[in-house]
Amino acid sequence: MSKYLLNQNSAAENIRLAKKVDPIVFVDRYLAPYIDDQSSFVLDIGCGPGVIGAEVAKRVNEVIGVDINEARYNANIFKDDYHFVCSNSKELPFKDNTFDLVYSRFLFQHIPALAKQTLKEMHRVCKQGGVILVQEIDQNMIKHHNMEKKLENLILSTVDQLIKLELFEPNMGSKLAPMFSELGLENPNIRQEIYHNFFGQVSSEIIARELKKVENSFVNIAKIVGEEKANYWKKGYIEHLKNPNSSTWSHLYTVSGRKQ
């Protein structure tokens, strides 16, 4: 398995990922223009618990979800015309020009060293005239207002170390369009939105979700900064979110291009 920041094998991570996205909203908002044809064959790279692909499968002919972690397979999700393939995205086990739409959400930021190769593979297996779409966060975990200075420095220096270890890229969103151009996907469509927008009083649901995120990356963060600092991060970050005078934010990039 490639290097990965979050605890890959915990059931809690599966549940957190599944809860983090509303598949109907995601498909309507980002994929619908490209899956208007019932006969489409679609590929989801780094599909995680598979909830997005399951929604796509209702609207097209066939979907394949690829994930490096076989623990993501769930027979209740991957059924009928939705199949799970366990593979590393850097080398996809499919022939050239196979799929009408190849998309990936929130994978590249976790595999910065493999991002270009993964996009190249997505491009290879996409049909001519088909679409490649990638969605990633930008300024992830690094934009805070009114955070205690000591905590902010700890977070920023840890993120720096994660970047050096190639475990995480906080600015993957803004790196996508240049990667598309490098592959010859000229004039990619770029959509930029606010993603995290924790300002003032945030809901208990958001607090619980953010706590799960920190918990699920705790083991790897503790390996880098030690357990004491990792605990300080976890506690301090949640307190920061609860502070009505604080904010934390990030952007979302969705980049797509048609294979010529």
Ligand X SMILES: C[S@@+](CC[C@H](N)C(=O)[O-])C[C@H]1O[C@@H](n2cnc3c(N)ncnc32)[C@H](O)[C@@H]1O
- Binding site residues, ligand X, CB under 6 A: 2, 4, 8, 17, 21, 46-48, 66-69, 72, 88-89, 105-107, 110-111, 114
- Cβ 47 to ligand X, closest distance in Å? 6
Tell the smallest beta-carbon distance from residue 1 to ligand X (Å). 7
CA distances (Å), origin 177, targets 16, 128, 134, 228? 28, 19, 10, 39
CB of 121 vs ligand X, minimal distance in Å: 10
Q: Is 47 in contact with 23 (CB distance < 8 Å)?
A: no
Q: Which amino acid is at 86?
A: C
Q: Which is nearer to ligand X, 13 or 100 (CB)?
A: 13
Question: Shortest approach of ligand X to residue 102 CB, angstroms?
Answer: 13
Say which DSSP state 43 is in. Answer: E
Q: How far is the CB of 96 from ligand X (least distance, A)?
A: 19
Shortest reach from residue 187's CB to ligand X, in Å: 25
DSSP letters of 91-153?
S-SS-SS-EEEEEEES-GGG-GGGHHHHHHHHHHHEEEEEEEEEEEEESTTT-EES--HHHHH
Judged by beta carbon, residue 106 or residue 198, the one nearer ligand X is: 106
The residue (of 168 and 180) whose beta carbon lies closer to ligand X is 168
Instruction: Please measure the distance between the N-terminal and C-terminal CA atoms of the chain and give it in whole angstroms.
Output: 33
Of 2 and 61, CB closest to ligand X: 2
Instruction: Give the separation between CA 36 and CA 30, rounded to whole angstroms.
Output: 12
Residue closer to ligand X, measured from CB, 105 or 259: 105
Which residue, 74 or 231, has its beta carbon nearer to ligand X? 74
Q: Is 89 exposed, middle or buried (0-12, 13-18, 19+ CB in 10 A)?
A: buried
The CA distances from residue 42 to 65, 87, 97, 106, 191, in Å, are 9, 16, 12, 17, 21
CB-CB contact of 20 with 209 (8 Å): yes
